[in-house]
Amino acid sequence: MKTKNTILTTITAGVFVALVGCGDTSSDGGSSSAPAGPSAVKNSFAEVSAKLDPNGSLYLYYSTEDVIETVEEYTDALIGFAKETAGSGAAGFRPGPQEQAMIDSGTKVGKAFYDQLGISEISGVGMSSIEFEKGLHRNKTVIHHFPDKSTGKLWSLFGSEPHEIGMLKMLPADTALALSHEFNAKALMEWLPELAKASGDEAIEAQFDQAMQMANMMIGIRDLTGSFGNQVGLFVTLDTANTIPLPPEMGGEIPTPGLGLVMKVKDDKIADMILIALETSPVPFEKQSIEGIEAHVLTEPAPTPFPLAPALFKLDDHIVAASNSKLAAKIIATHRGDEAGLTSTDEFQRLAKGLDLKGNHFFFVGELIGKTVAPIMDAAMEAQPLPPGFPDFDLEAAYNMQTLGLVRVEADGIVFENHSTSGLVNSVAIQAGVVPVAVGAGMLLPALAKSKTEAQRIACHAQLKQIDGSKEMWATQEKRADGDTPSEAQVGEYFKDGMPSCPEGGTYTIGAVGQKATCSTHGSMGQE
Amino acid sequence: MYMKHYPSAPAPFFFAALLIFGCCKPGVLSADNTPKGPPAAVQTSFAEVMSRLDLNGHLYAYLSTEQALAKLDETLEGLISMAKTGAEAGGGNLMDNPFLAPIIEGVLGVVEPAYRQSGIGEISGVGMSSLAIEEDLWRSKMFVHHQPDKGTGLIWDVFGEQPHTMDVLSLAPDNTMALMHSDLDAKRVIDWADAMLKEMLNGESLMANAPDEVKNILDSFGNEVGFLMTLDEENKMTLPGFMFDQQDDIEMDGVAFALLVRVKDNTLLEMINGVMGGGLGAPQGTKVGSVTIHSVPLPIPLPIKMDLSPCYFQVGDYMVLSSAESLARRMAAAHGGKGRLIDDAGFKALAKGLNLKANGIYYADPQASEWGMEINELSMGKLEGALAKVYEIYEESLKEGIGMVSLFKVEEDGLLIEGNSTVNPYGGNIVHSIAGVGVAVASSLNDLQQSGMFEDLGGFGGPPGFGDDSDFDLPRVTPPDEE
């Protein structure tokens, strides 16, 4: 009986659910439309979205094939229109036969450049941005092409497949900014003649060949590009233990900066060429051993506010230039593992969490950059404050942005990925709004500082003039002669708020009647 | 006792399991309709938005707007504060200026509440998708989301409360080429606008002093308004050739328009009858089925041959003002179930898979774009040279006509716009549209150049006296006083 009841209950429940719960709401009760399945027109959604992160603040896939094709169609027609307009003289000038030929050749080269670059092979683009950890965003941008459409130079000029970033092993722990890029110079050298040929003008082709031969003869350009290891990098260190003062009008101090340049090479050709150049140069370089590595060091430091006596040396398959020997020693020690480098810092490890450090291009911006720039920017803002209520452009977030990113050239496209304290949308907003404000303020800073100082000098001299006038009046009223000196209180009688003081903190010497009053900072009237 | 309950235990489990696993059809507004991945540390409306969109298409996008709108809010506050504390060129405060202060106060009194009450600040995220459900049929969607606890703004309810059957589709005849119809809570809009104006008019409400007729109309208004256009190939119209620089007159399919307003009663009809009858009662009407069509006499005859016979009538819950009696008859017939757009095979094919319950609809028949193209070509005249090549590409893209059914739906947590179209609206079509505008602008400049209106300024063809060529190689027109 119980079993019977159970079966009955179960069947009843099932029928009820089937009738009520499983009804197709889209056809009667609700308003949602029938679900759609796969796309009837091929696209790269699956391929691109597989590389993106859902659930974040930005997610985008956009198929570009149709758009690019349509744009190309119109571009061809518009180029024809432009040529026709130029040829008719409607644009304000009528080109001669030579100019017309140049326009034709230029158009052909431009077209060949575009066609061979591989833009038309892009099947789709994707973007995503997710705050994967509180305050830390993973931003991705994908440019996809199908593997069977990969003849474009875009897919090979900037690297062929991701690899370890060699420069990373050399970066000292106080690295604040680092960039490493890959560029296939040899492929470019092979492409350029093709482009010249595309002009269809034998003269241009011949001129190009001649220029190449010349470059080859003078600097051995073919050998050099063959020797170049396709990777170059730059980094900036900031030594917080040693600071340098900022100009007095700004005040404060910043960590001592250091600069490193790195180039990967396949052999000694480039290094030898640099050495010959150094040996024949009038700048005094000498061979020194830094951490057991032979280096060429500038013996007379440049007159800069920070130590600049470049040291040039070879480290494995890299040529390295450091702004001074101390930095060179740090680089070598880091590379050997004797000293903890950037990759061992908490900041780097936090940013690198879950990020594959293999890539073709690499960039890092550390907290130190913000900490160093912020006081300078604050000084600029203080000198020229924004009106009250002026919208906050999130300058603080912009200064303190920390980013670790890589660009990977993969078999089916290019992936830009970074871990940053700022999301992609915010980064764009910062670049579009904050950076121009910051750069503008930075450019204005010296002028503002100068104008402030100048204004203070003018105000001070005006007060000195008034003090001299007061002394004359005092002498007349008190029947005093030249050489007599009034007290501050006596001079102050002639001013509404008593004896004035220098706006920049200088000390006034009233001086005798007949002599000029002076300021310890700004001198006397007539003195600059 | 314990055993007594044991045997019936599987039933509720089975019931629950069916509800959880058995009832969700693939892709139906479930979390399964979104790409998978680890959750974000900071919650966004990604899942809510993307579950309304179609995966696998040519466009699939989501943008969280909360941060950006918070910034906008901050910026707005900053700008208001700047306006209130800002200094004049002379040094005084703007708010101390007896002329400027009331203007600033009035504008700020409107701008800030208008923004706050609009609901724009409540948008948490937006999403878009476009998917080819067939080779020539694209489903596009856009969803604007608000969190359930933030949906009090105007935009969330002014265009309706929840999707419903679009009764207007039963009135639209099968030769409808374009239809735009939407819910509109007029009272809500007027109350909102009145509240804004009150701020500007020192607390004076316009609606409080409005005449009774206005209030009666609003009370009678059924919160739906729309427009439709038909093309009638059996009832051609003839346009004079001289209008388009052509010798022969041009014959095209006849066009007719209708304005539709949903009403709760016949107040509006009686008011119009009163006006049209000049106080002598309703004018005589023609009975078509259950519908009485009232003609509106034309004051002057038309210079072109077309069916222009304005009339008005009430059909079902709709008050209609039509440009032609032939259209009115077709609408009356559609109301009776004959020749309806909704039964048309072309419409059905275009609306495939769409649930037509909505708050608004936009429909364009592929023939409408062809007709528009014909008019376009006539008005633009003959293009020559490379510009003609550009135009040819544009023309080719519209050759087969663009058809579209788009529905606007007010849902509990946001606004959904979904529709089908014969082209991908976010693909190459965007480029064609831009090119179309470009060609139209270039063509207009050409016409201006030819008109000679700018001869004194040197025309568009470079400095005065430079050659005799105008842009695009078109002949230069000499102004009459130079002849």
- Write a three-state SS string for chain B: CHHHHHHHCHHHHHHHHHHHHHCCCCCCCCHHHCCCCCCCCCCCCHHHHHCCCCCCCCEEEEEECHHHHHHHHHHHHHHHHHHHHCECCCCCEHHHCCCHHHHHHHHHHHHHHHHHHHCHHHEEEEEEEEEEEECCEEEEEEEEEECCCCCCCHHHHCCCCCCECCHHHHCCECCEEEEEEEECCHHHHHHHHHHHHHHHCCCCCCHHHCCHHHHHHHHHEEEEEEEEEEEEEEEEEEECHHHHCCCCCEEEEEEEEEEEEEECCCHHHHHHHHHHCCCCCCCCEEEECCEEEEECCCCCCCCCECCCCCEEEEECCEEEEECCHHHHHHHHHHHCCCCEHHHCHHHHHHCCCCCCCECEEEEECHHHHHHHHHHHHHHHCCCCHHHHHHHHHHHHHCCCCCCEEEEEEEECCEEEEEEEECCCCCCHHHHHHHHHHHHHHHHHHHHHHHHCCCHHHCCCCCCCCCCCCCHHHCCCCCCHHHC
| Residue A94 counted as domain residue | no
- Test A57 with B64 for CB contact under 8 angstroms: yes
- What torsion, rounded to 10 degrees, do the Cα atoms B405, B411, B414, B417 define? 0
Residue among B7, B133, B470 whose CB faces A36 most closely: B133
* pLDDT, tens digit, 9 for 90 and up, residues A201-210: 888 888 888 9
- Both A465 and A419 in a single domain? no
- Both A401 and A414 in a single domain? yes
Rounded Cα–Cα distance for residues A456 and A465 (Å): 14
| AA identity, residue A476 | T
For testing contact with chain A, the best of B162, B355, B406 (most A CBs within 10 A): B355
Task: State residue B117's pLDDT score.
Answer: 86
Q: Which of A434, A449, A464 is the last residue of a domain?
A: A449
Burial B387-424 (b: 16+ CB within 10 A, else e): bebbbebbbebbeebbbbbbbbbbbebbbbbbbbbbbb
- Both A187 and A269 in a single domain? yes
Cβ contacts of B201 within 8 Å, gap of 6 or more: none
The closest of A415, A433, A409, A403 to A128, measured between CA atoms, is A415
- For residue A226, the tally of other CB atoms under 10 A from its CB is 15
Distance from CA of B97 to the nearest CA of A (A): 19
Task: State residue A87's pLDDT score.
Answer: 67
- Test B27 with A27 for CB contact under 8 angstroms: no
- Both A345 and A388 in a single domain? yes
Coil, strand, or helix at residue A175?
strand
- Both A221 and A235 in a single domain? yes
The number of domains in chain A is 2
Distances, alpha carbon B229 to alpha carbons B168, B311, B360, in Å: 13, 15, 16
Average pLDDT rounded to a whole number, residues B343-367: 95
Rounded Cα–Cα distance for residues B211 and B192 (Å): 19
* pLDDT, tens digit, 9 for 90 and up, residues A370-384: 888 877 777 777 766
How would residue A392 be classed by pLDDT, with cut points 50, 70 and 90?
A: low
Helix ranges, A118-245 (H): 154-157, 185-198, 202-219, 221-227
- Test B77 with A131 for CB contact under 8 angstroms: no
Question: Is a pLDDT exceeding 70 seen at residue B30?
Answer: no
| Residue A13 counted as domain residue | no
| Residue A128 counted as domain residue | no
Q: Which of A19-28, A44-53, B363-372, B392-401 has the highest mean pLDDT?
A: A44-53
- Test B355 with A27 for CB contact under 8 angstroms: yes
Distance from CA of A8 to the nearest CA of B (A): 9
Q: What is the DSSP letter of A387?
A: P
- Test B467 with A45 for CB contact under 8 angstroms: no
Rounded Cα–Cα distance for residues A7 and A13 (Å): 10
For testing contact with chain A, the best of B55, B65, B410, B429 (most A CBs within 10 A): B55
Task: State residue A121's pLDDT score.
Answer: 96
Residue A19 touches partner B, C-beta closer than 8 Å:
no
* pLDDT, tens digit, 9 for 90 and up, residues B286-332: 898 889 999 888 777 777 788 888 999 999 999 999 999 999 999 99
Give Dmax (Cα) for chain A. 134
| Residue A408 counted as domain residue | yes
Question: Is a pLDDT exceeding 80 seen at residue A427?
Answer: no
Question: Is a pLDDT exceeding 80 seen at residue A170?
Answer: yes
Provide the terminal-to-terminal Cα distance of chain A, rounded to the nearest Å: 114
Give Dmax (Cα) for chain B. 116
Distances, alpha carbon A212 to alpha carbons A189, A207, A228, B109, in Å: 9, 9, 17, 70
Rounded Cα–Cα distance for residues B349 and B422 (Å): 10
Average pLDDT rounded to a whole number, residues B381-403: 76
Which residues in chain B touch residue A40, judged by CB atoms under 8 angstroms apart?
Answer: 132-135, 137
Distance from CA of B28 to the nearest CA of A (A): 6
- Both A509 and A367 in a single domain? no
Q: Which residue has the higher pLDDT, B187 or B445?
A: B187
* pLDDT, tens digit, 9 for 90 and up, residues B402-429: 899 999 999 999 999 999 999 999 988 8
- Both A254 and A321 in a single domain? yes
Q: Any idea which of A95-104, A127-136, A222-231 has the lowest mean pLDDT?
A: A95-104
Which residues in chain B touch residue A41, judged by CB atoms under 8 angstroms apart?
Answer: 58, 132, 135, 424
| Residue A371 counted as domain residue | yes
Rounded Cα–Cα distance for residues A306 and A242 (Å): 10
Which residues in chain B touch residue A32, judged by CB atoms under 8 angstroms apart?
Answer: 28-29, 355
Cβ contacts of B180 within 8 Å, gap of 6 or more: B226, B227, B228, B360, B361, B362, B363
Which residues in chain B touch residue A17, judged by CB atoms under 8 angstroms apart?
Answer: 15, 18-19, 22-23
Rounded Cα–Cα distance for residues B245 and B254 (Å): 21
Distance from CA of A21 to the nearest CA of B (A): 7
| AA identity, residue A525 | M
Rounded Cα–Cα distance for residues B356 and A472 (Å): 96
Average pLDDT rounded to a whole number, residues B207-234: 89
Q: What is the DSSP letter of A172?
A: B
- Both A273 and A367 in a single domain? yes
Rounded Cα–Cα distance for residues A394 and A421 (Å): 13
The size of chain A, in residues, is: 528
Coil, strand, or helix at residue A457?
helix
For testing contact with chain A, the best of B42, B135, B429 (most A CBs within 10 A): B42
Which residues in chain A touch residue B44, judged by CB atoms under 8 angstroms apart?
Answer: 55-57
Residue A280 touches partner B, C-beta closer than 8 Å:
no
- Test A45 with B57 for CB contact under 8 angstroms: yes
Rounded Cα–Cα distance for residues A42 and A54 (Å): 22
Predicted ipTM of the assembly: 0.81
Average pLDDT rounded to a whole number, residues A167-173: 95
Average pLDDT, chain B: 80
Task: State residue B17's pLDDT score.
Answer: 40
Rounded Cα–Cα distance for residues B439 and A179 (Å): 45
Cβ contacts of A339 within 8 Å, gap of 6 or more: A172, A173, A330, A333
| Helix B366-380 / helix B428-451 crossing angle, nearest 10 deg | 30
Question: Is a pLDDT exceeding 80 seen at residue B7?
Answer: no
Q: Which of A420, A449, A478 is the last residue of a domain?
A: A449
Residue A294 touches partner B, C-beta closer than 8 Å:
no
- Test B133 with A14 for CB contact under 8 angstroms: no
Average pLDDT rounded to a whole number, residues B98-114: 74
Question: Is a pLDDT exceeding 50 seen at residue A179?
Answer: yes
- Test A13 with B14 for CB contact under 8 angstroms: yes
How would residue B459 be classed by pLDDT, with cut points 50, 70 and 90?
A: low
In A, residues 57-86, which contact B (CB 8 Å cutoff)? 57-63, 66-67, 69-71, 73-74, 77-78, 80-85
Which residues in chain B touch residue A4, judged by CB atoms under 8 angstroms apart?
Answer: none
Rounded Cα–Cα distance for residues A26 and B312 (Å): 36
- Test A389 with B430 for CB contact under 8 angstroms: no
Coil, strand, or helix at residue A525?
coil
Task: State residue A514's pLDDT score.
Answer: 87
Reading the block at residue B442, the tokens are: 């270039």
Distance from CA of A13 to the nearest CA of B (A): 6
Q: What is the DSSP letter of A345?
A: S
- Test A392 with B78 for CB contact under 8 angstroms: yes
Q: What is the distance, to the nearest Å, from the Cα of residue A39 to the centroid of all Cα atoms in its chain?
A: 39
Q: Where are the beta strands (DSSP E) in A222-333?
A: 228-245, 253-265, 285-290, 293-298, 311-315, 318-322
Question: Is a pLDDT exceeding 60 seen at residue A270?
Answer: yes
Q: Which residue has the higher pLDDT, A144 or A469?
A: A144
- Test A55 with B435 for CB contact under 8 angstroms: no
Task: State residue B453's pLDDT score.
Answer: 63
Residue among A43, A132, A429 whose CB faces B41 most closely: A132
The closest of B361, B350, B295 to B327, measured between CA atoms, is B295
Q: At CA B124, angle to CA B122 and CA B128, rounded to 5?
A: 125
| Residue A442 counted as domain residue | yes
Relative to beta strand A253-265, strand A228-245 is antiparallel
- Both A224 and A297 in a single domain? yes
| Residue A429 counted as domain residue | yes
Task: State residue A372's pLDDT score.
Answer: 86
- Test B23 with A27 for CB contact under 8 angstroms: no
Rounded Cα–Cα distance for residues A94 and B420 (Å): 50
| AA identity, residue A210 | Q
Question: Is a pLDDT exceeding 50 seen at residue B269?
Answer: yes
Inter-residue contact A506 to A522 (CB < 8 Å): yes
- Test B60 with A32 for CB contact under 8 angstroms: no
Rounded Cα–Cα distance for residues B384 and B388 (Å): 5
Task: State residue B391's pLDDT score.
Answer: 81
Distance from CA of A172 to the nearest CA of B (A): 32
For testing contact with chain B, the best of A9, A28, A39, A144 (most B CBs within 10 A): A39
For testing contact with chain B, the best of A10, A33, A63 (most B CBs within 10 A): A33
Q: What is the distance, to the nearest Å, from the Cα of residue B463 to the centroid of all Cα atoms in its chain?
A: 44
- Test B131 with A57 for CB contact under 8 angstroms: no
- Test A61 with B61 for CB contact under 8 angstroms: yes
Handedness of CA A121, A127, A132, A136 (dihedral sign): positive
Average pLDDT rounded to a whole number, residues A264-287: 87
The structure's pTM equals: 0.78
- Test B28 with A134 for CB contact under 8 angstroms: no
- For residue B383, the tally of other CB atoms under 10 A from its CB is 19
Residue among B40, B387, B467 whose CB faces A89 most closely: B467
Inter-residue contact A366 to A403 (CB < 8 Å): no
Q: What is the distance, to the nearest Å, from the Cα of residue A144 to the centroid of all Cα atoms in its chain?
A: 25
Range of A492's domain? 452-524
Which residues in chain B touch residue A391, judged by CB atoms under 8 angstroms apart?
Answer: 74-75, 78-79
Question: Is a pLDDT exceeding 80 seen at residue A22?
Answer: no
Distance from CA of B77 to the nearest CA of A (A): 8
Q: Which residue has the higher pLDDT, A164 or A434?
A: A164
- Both A419 and A347 in a single domain? yes
The closest of B36, B191, B195, B476 to A49, measured between CA atoms, is B36
Q: Which of A418, A449, A480 is the last residue of a domain?
A: A449
Distance from CA of A500 to the nearest CA of B (A): 25
| Residue A37 counted as domain residue | no
Distances, alpha carbon B352 to alpha carbons B133, B328, B348, in Å: 9, 28, 6
- Both A456 and A324 in a single domain? no
Q: What is the distance, to the nearest Å, from the Cα of residue A260 to the centroid of all Cα atoms in its chain?
A: 16
How would residue A495 be classed by pLDDT, with cut points 50, 70 and 90?
A: confident
- Which conformational region is residue B29 in: left (phi greater than 0), alpha (psi within -120 to 50 degrees), or beta? left
Residue among A54, A89, A136 whose CB faces B34 most closely: A54
Residue among B8, B39, B133 whose CB faces A40 most closely: B133
Cβ contacts of B329 within 8 Å, gap of 6 or more: B288, B293
Task: State residue B386's pLDDT score.
Answer: 65
- Both A375 and A467 in a single domain? no
Distance from CA of A418 to the nearest CA of B (A): 16
* pLDDT, tens digit, 9 for 90 and up, residues A96-120: 777 778 788 888 888 889 999 999 9
Nearest chain A alpha carbon to B394: A74
Distances, alpha carbon B300 to alpha carbons B297, B304, B327, B328, B333, in Å: 9, 12, 21, 21, 29
Q: What is the distance, to the nearest Å, from the Cα of residue A412 to the centroid of all Cα atoms in its chain?
A: 27
What count of CB pairs under 8 Å joins A to B? 256
